[in-house]
């Protein structure tokens, strides 16, 4: 049995579908504050759903019953949200993760907890590419919360023998990623604006770059991190090892729609870093993990999925 916290969200629901296709039993834990039942349409009758909050320890304990692997995706995401409300970010991302770890330790059936961390933990450390042994330098409450929870995972592995793996995601994108939030990610926001004929809102000069990671790669990373022997206690960058600017994304989306897209430049976002680029050597070596979908193809798939969704 797999427990996916945040299983109705973008990453969690894609992971749940992949596990169901593989014949696994899946239990989803989500408070549906940002996740959606629509994300689970294809598997709704083949998964168990627990509607509850990570901050409710009793609910987390109940959901952990009979579980073998935990994929802990639930979090209050977004750097900007954390700048606006650092307390809630801490309560969910740090204390919520501690609840998951404590419940997993108590439930003797759990073999491993895989935790969704973030590239934001590197912060303004200017070294490129980012290797997992770099000293973190977080510059936002979100990044602090992710690093703190990551440290809890390491401590639980050392102190209590609970196997944990932390995955530092680099700017994940793909189908099911919602543009309907003030804290939405740049890829769905750009695509939605393009499809509606609105100008793209570009923070800063648009030359900032990210190591964008297609959702299928993240799903594979989670599945392999659950079952690969000998990786307990490890931290992995989950990325593609290449970076692309916001302006490059705008140009590609313009190519998809067949016209140049107007842009509206605004002030840089608080807490953002200028560039990210990951070293993926550790994940390649220990998880045998390599991206199967290139950047342009991933963007095209995401664009077509969002276009269909908006049309429907």
Query: Sorting pLDDT into bands at 50, 70 and 90, what band is 181?
Result: low
Q: What is the mean pLDDT of the chain?
A: 94
Whether the CB-CB separation of 285 and 221 falls below 8 Å is answered with no
Parallel, antiparallel or unpaired: strands 263-266 and 2-5: unpaired
- DSSP label at residue 25: -
If we measure between CA atoms, which residue out of 284, 280, 294, 291 comes closest to residue 130? Answer: 280
The predicted pLDDT at position 30 comes to 98
Alpha helix ranges (H) inside 55-106? 57-63, 79-84, 86-90, 96-106
Angle, CA of 35, 289 and 212, to the nearest 5° = 55
Calpha distance 57→170 (Å, rounded): 29
Is residue 162's pLDDT more than 70?
yes
Q: Write out the two tokens for 41.
A: 């349409």
The predicted pLDDT at position 185 comes to 87
pTM of the model: 0.93
Query: Sorting pLDDT into bands at 50, 70 and 90, what band is 184?
Result: low
The predicted pLDDT at position 183 comes to 60
The predicted pLDDT at position 227 comes to 97
Whether the CB-CB separation of 146 and 120 falls below 8 Å is answered with yes
DSSP per residue over 128-149, as a string? SSBPTTSPP---SHHHHHHHHH
- For 214, phi and psi rounded to 5 degrees? -70, 145
At residue 28, the 3 state secondary structure works out as: strand
Would you name the residues annotated as active-site residues? Answer: 142
Burial category of 161 from C-beta neighbours within 10 Å (exposed 0-12, middle 13-18, buried 19 and up): exposed
Calpha distance 181→66 (Å, rounded): 35
Burial category of 24 from C-beta neighbours within 10 Å (exposed 0-12, middle 13-18, buried 19 and up): middle
Question: 285-307 burial, b if ≥16 CB within 10 A, otherwise e?
Answer: ebbebebebebeebbbbbbebbb
Parallel, antiparallel or unpaired: strands 209-210 and 244-245: antiparallel
- Mind listing the domains of the chain with CATH numbers? 2-173+213-241+279-292 (3.40.50.720), 186-209+242-276+296-311 (3.90.25.10)
Query: Sorting pLDDT into bands at 50, 70 and 90, what band is 125?
Result: confident
């Amino acid at each position: 049995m797999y427990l996916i916290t945040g299983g109705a969200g973008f990453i969690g629901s894609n992971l749940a579908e992949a596990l169901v296709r593989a014949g696994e039993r899946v239990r989803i834990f989500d408070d549906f504050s940002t996740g959606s039942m629509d994300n689970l349409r294809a598997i709704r009758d083949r998964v168990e759903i627990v509607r509850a909050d990570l901050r409710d320890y009793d609910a987390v304990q109940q959901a952990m019953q009979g579980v073998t692997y935990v994929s802990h995706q639930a979090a209050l995401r977004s750097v900007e949200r954390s700048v606006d409300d650092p307390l809630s970010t801490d309560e969910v991302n740090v204390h919520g993760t501690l609840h998951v770890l404590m419940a997993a330790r108590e439930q003797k059936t759990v073999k491993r907890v895989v935790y969704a961390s973030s590239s934001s933990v590197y912060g303004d450390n200017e070294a490129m590419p980012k290797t997992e042994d770099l000293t973190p330098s977080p510059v936002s409450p979100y990044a602090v919360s992710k690093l703190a929870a990551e440290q809890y995972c390491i401590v639980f592995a050392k102190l209590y023998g609970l196997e944990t793996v932390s995955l530092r995601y680099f700017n994940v994108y793909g189908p099911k990623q919602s543009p309907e939030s003030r804290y939405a990610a740049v890829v769905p926001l750009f695509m939605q604006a393009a499809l509606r004929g609105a100008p793209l809102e570009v923070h800063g000069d648009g030359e900032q770059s990210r190591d964008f990671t297609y959702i299928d790669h993240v799903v594979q990373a989670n599945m392999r991190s659950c079952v690969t022997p000998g990786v307990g206690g490890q931290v992995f960058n989950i990325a593609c090892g290449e970076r692309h600017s916001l302006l490059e994304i705008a140009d590609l989306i313009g190519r998809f729609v067949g016209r140049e897209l107007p842009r509206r430049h605004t002030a840089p976002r608080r807490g953002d870093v200028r560039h990210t680029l990951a070293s993926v050597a550790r994940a390649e070596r220990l998880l045998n993990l390599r991206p199967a979908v290139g950047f342009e193809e991933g963007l095209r798939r995401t664009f077509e999925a969002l276009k269909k969704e908006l049309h429907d």
